[in-house]
Amino acid sequence: MSIKYIATSQLPTPWGVFAMHGFEDTETGKEHVALTFGELNADDAILGRIHSECLTGDALFSLRCDCGFQLQTAMQNIAELGQGFILYLRQEGRGIGLLNKIRAYELQDAGANTVEANERLGFKADMRQYDMIKPMLEQINVTRVRLMTNNPRKVKAMQQEGIEVVDRVPLQVGKNRYNEAYLKTKSTELGHMMSEYHFNDEQS
């Protein structure tokens, strides 16, 4: 197994004190983090999220995507419930990396949508992998989840790794005039479940 548990520390946040568990993929050198809140029992269906790194949205407050909004809302939901987890995976730009993400943004500025931009750079629309989630969840004692996501690929990834997805919890937050076309593309071309959103017909 290439995923190695490293250490655990406290992480005070505006929503409460999470435990932060560090992991290393010894094959790729990538470092991943699991955040947990409260006591996690393997018999319980634990509220949680798989969140792929998004420097622009998570740390730089970008309005081009909904990532930062989703992360903050997930952390708030977990803290209010008193129990839950987030797997924070180092897969920037749906797996293409930060600099290629900036190149994709440049193409989007010229009119391409988020899928077209990745493909013009020679990548698939979504390059992310989820084979690291099982050992991470085993370390934090999670086998059954209520998954906060709009992405059916994440539900399928959980199920393929033997994790029972008891419920999918929609996480439709952060829609604005800068990301409406992006969100519509995720819905129409990537199959994300966004029934609560209403998109303008002129947006592509």
Name the residues annotated as catalytic. Answer: 126, 128
Q: Was 53 annotated as part of a binding site?
A: yes
Q: Was 28 annotated as part of a binding site?
A: no
Q: How many CB atoms lie within 10 A of CB 110?
A: 8
Q: How many CB atoms lie within 10 A of CB 119?
A: 15
Q: Was 67 annotated as part of a binding site?
A: yes
From CA 1, how far away is CA 24, in angstroms rounded?
Answer: 11
Q: Was 78 annotated as part of a binding site?
A: no
Q: Was 94 annotated as part of a binding site?
A: yes
Q: Was 46 annotated as part of a binding site?
A: no
Instruction: Tell me the Cα Rg of the chain.
Output: 17
CB 20 within 8 A of CB 9: yes
Q: Was 50 annotated as part of a binding site?
A: yes
- Run of H or E residues at 59: none
Binding-site annotation: residue ranges for Zn(2+): 54, 65, 67
Binding-site annotation: residue ranges for GTP: 49-53, 70, 92-94, 114, 149, 154
